[in-house]
Amino acid sequence: MPTESEVACFEAGIKFGTLYHQFTGTPVDHESAPGLERAMEEAIENQPHCTDVDVEIREDRLAEAIDPVIGYTELHGPLMDVEITVEYEGCDVHTRMELEEGYPRMRVVSVER
C-alpha cells in the first residue's frame, strides 16, 4: 500500500498533468493573462485534496512569445511558473513548475506531516 506521502505526491502530479494539458494551446496576450491565471487556479483548486494553486504567466516570456502580426501566442509550459499544494491525510505536499534549462520542470519542493 502506498503511504500518505506517496498518495499526496501522486495527487500533485495529477494536478500538474491536468493544468498543463488542459490549458496548453489557449490563446493568450498581455490583457488576457491575468484572467487566464485565475481560471487555471480555480479549475485546479476544484480537484480533490488541492489546497492552493498559484499560476504566474511570466510577462517577460509572454512578451517574447507574442506574434506581433496576430497579437497573441498560445500558452505553453515555458511561459508559466506554477505552485500547487496538496493535502492528503495530514500530509502537505508543496510542488512547483518553473523553467529549468529551457524546460518547464515539475517537482516536489517539500513534504510535511
pLDDT tens over the chain, length 113 residues: 999 999 999 999 999 999 999 999 999 999 999 999 999 999 999 999 999 999 999 999 999 999 999 999 999 999 999 999 999 999 999 999 999 999 999 999 999 99
Helix axes 4-23, 33-45, angle to 10 degrees: 140
Phi and psi, residue 19, nearest 5°: -60, -50
Cα separation values, 45 from 38, 41, 54, 99, 103, Å: 10, 6, 10, 22, 24
Residue type, 51: T
Q: Looking at the 3D structure of the chain, how many domains does it have?
A: 1
Residue 2 contacts residue 10 (beta carbons within 8 Å):
yes
pLDDT of residue 100: 95
Q: Give the CATH number of the domain where residue 20 resides.
A: 3.30.1300.20
pLDDT for residue 23: 97
pTM: 0.94
First to last CA, the chain: 18
User: Which residues form the domain of 91?
Assistant: 4-112
